[in-house]
Chain A
Amino acid sequence: MSTPGDSDTRLAALQAELQSVKRREAEYRVKMIQEFLDRGERNSYLHVLREECAALIKREQEASADLEILTRKLEDAEARIASLTAELERARAPKSKWGAKPAEVPAPTAPVPGAPFTYYLHTSPFRVYRDSAFTLRGWAWPVDGRKVTAIRVDVDGRTYAGKLGLPEPEVVAHYGLQPENPQPGFEITIETPAGRHSFSLEAQLGGSEWRSIMRTTIWCEPRAK
């Protein structure tokens, strides 16, 4: 059986031990700080943050590249699905007593004919669209030098007219002036509802015909509210 005296002694011993542990822990931290400073890591925290920031930018760039590759693959797959579906429809078509009736292939939406353009898009359309709208900015002119009279984006058949004739002095300085298109910059804002959509950037040449500059499919996935 322990006496009050024993308890006091034990308590004092424990307190001394606790103080000793605290002191050793604090000495360890002093040593750590000193080593940190001695190693010349005076700005290591900033340095670490900068490195993390650079790594995040690199990851974002890699993710964008992956997304672009994926988008291309999806486009190819969609084209293949369309081709196989058409072939299947032809195979299922009823035959008349006079012989096989030619399969009725649904008339596709009149495609906008393509034309070679030199262009650059400042805001890349190859992305996952998180917001309800997206503004495409860039510049374009036809290789044959004809006048671009209007610009638009076609999303699933719905067109969005753009603003044309924005100055691009660096483009003109690099490629030289295209007399019919002295200010080749444009800006178009489109709505981006959830889901996959076809996306076609188109220019009107000489006030009449529309030509496609580039087309792709886009994936819109709004942020959860």
Chain B
Amino acid sequence: MTPGDAQQRWQTSRAPLGDRSAYKKVWELQSQDMDVAALAVAGHTDEATLELTARGTIDMLKSTVGVGANDVILEIGCGIGRVGLPLSKECLHWVGTDISSGMLRHAAERLKDRRNTTLVELSTVGLQEFPLDSFDLVYCTIVFMHLLEWDRYRYVEEAFRILRPGGRCYVDNFTVDTDTGWKIFMESYSYPIDRRPAHISMSSSREELRTYLTRAGFADVRVHDLANGLIAATGTKPPA
């Protein structure tokens, strides 16, 4: 099967814009096989590139919120476990969550040798599957662009709940005031108006991300300009 085939199958697996809130349906459609799933969540299919981009994400996490050997970490929207595979080698335990069982099936295959990992299918938007005060770090990368604003905030609120006091939160998105962000914006702009897919990328502003974290109760909220042209907001759950 060639990458061209996967591109074709990905094109036909897209749900219409009106289904944007039906995340489970949208992402189950795009997880029919590993190549389509990889294209949908990472934009490429080869393992070496997946590993390289995952390393980049881990570097960003290290430079913004830090990653410790004793950290219990949760990723919101882990997809095929792109980041989880290398990150699980640098922490005590990594929990990957996704709303698509199909994505998690591919992640399970990739992570089968990593014993300190757990994969959990989310029943809906939120992290209700987890108890409070459990994690040292909750992060969400390359996901907010596919969510509506209210759902972005829901995840930030839930991250606050499940983090232990002193735990760190990281979320990112693209913003239109950088060259990279503008390029992503123009890619979405180029869609014919009646063919915009449900997962079409939508930007965040710095103030939007800062507001979510502040309103959720995080302390030491910061917005970072990342090396890859995205922006990230980070915060710390205050002591109880």
Contacts and interface: CB of A to CB of B under 8 A. Distances in A.
Interface of A: 19, 22-23, 26-27, 29-30, 32-34, 36-37, 41-46
20 contacts: A22-B70, A26-B72, A26-B93, A26-B136, A27-B92, A30-B92, A30-B93, A33-B95, A33-B130, A33-B131, A36-B131, A37-B120, A37-B129, A41-B129, A42-B128, A42-B129, A43-B129, A44-B128, A44-B131, A45-B129
Given A37-B120, A43-B123, A26 B131 contact: no
A30 B72 contact: yes
Q: Is the interface of B mostly helix, strand, loop or mixed?
A: loop
Contacts of B136: 26
A19 B123 CA distance: 36
B134 interface: yes
B70 A19 contact: yes
Given A29-B134, A33-B130, A42 B72 contact: no
B118 interface: yes
Given A32-B131, A33-B95, A42-B129, 18 more contacts: A23-B69, A23-B70, A26-B136, A30-B72, A30-B93, A32-B134, A33-B72, A33-B134, A34-B118, A37-B129, A43-B123, A43-B129, A44-B128, A44-B131, A45-B129, A45-B130, A45-B131, A46-B128
B90 interface: no
Nearest to B127: A45
B33 interface: no
Contacts of A29: 72, 134-135, 164
Nearest to A19: B70
Contacts, number: 48
A49 to B, nearest CB: 8
A204 B123 CA distance: 58
Q: Which 8 A-B pairs have the closest CB atoms?
A: A45-B128, A30-B93, A42-B129, A26-B70, A46-B128, A22-B70, A23-B70, A26-B92
A22 B129 CA distance: 24
Q: Which of B69, B70, B118 has the most CB of A within 10 A?
A: B70
A105 B92 CA distance: 88
A22 B135 CA distance: 13
B68 to A, nearest CB: 8
Q: Which of B92, B118, B120, B128 has the most CB of A within 10 A?
A: B128
Nearest to B164: A29
A80 B72 CA distance: 70
Contacts of B92: 23, 26-27, 30
Contacts of B130: 33, 36, 45
A43 B128 contact: yes
B234 to A, nearest CB: 20
B149 interface: no
Contacts of A33: 72, 95, 118, 130-131, 134
B28 interface: no
A43 B121 CA distance: 11
A200 B28 CA distance: 62
Contacts of A34: 118
A27 B72 CA distance: 8
B132 to A, nearest CB: 8
A40 B101 CA distance: 17
Contacts of B69: 23
Interface string B54-77: 000000000000000111100000
Contacts of B135: 29
B125 to A, nearest CB: 12
A36 B128 CA distance: 11
A36 B134 CA distance: 11
Contacts of B70: 19, 22-23, 26
A32 B128 CA distance: 15
Interface string B38-53: 0000000000000000
A31 to B, nearest CB: 10
A35 to B, nearest CB: 9
Interface in B110-143: 118, 120, 123, 128-131, 134-136
A37 B121 CA distance: 11
B118 A37 contact: yes
Contacts of B128: 42-46
Q: Which of B120, B131, B136 has the most CB of A within 10 A?
A: B131
B150 to A, nearest CB: 17
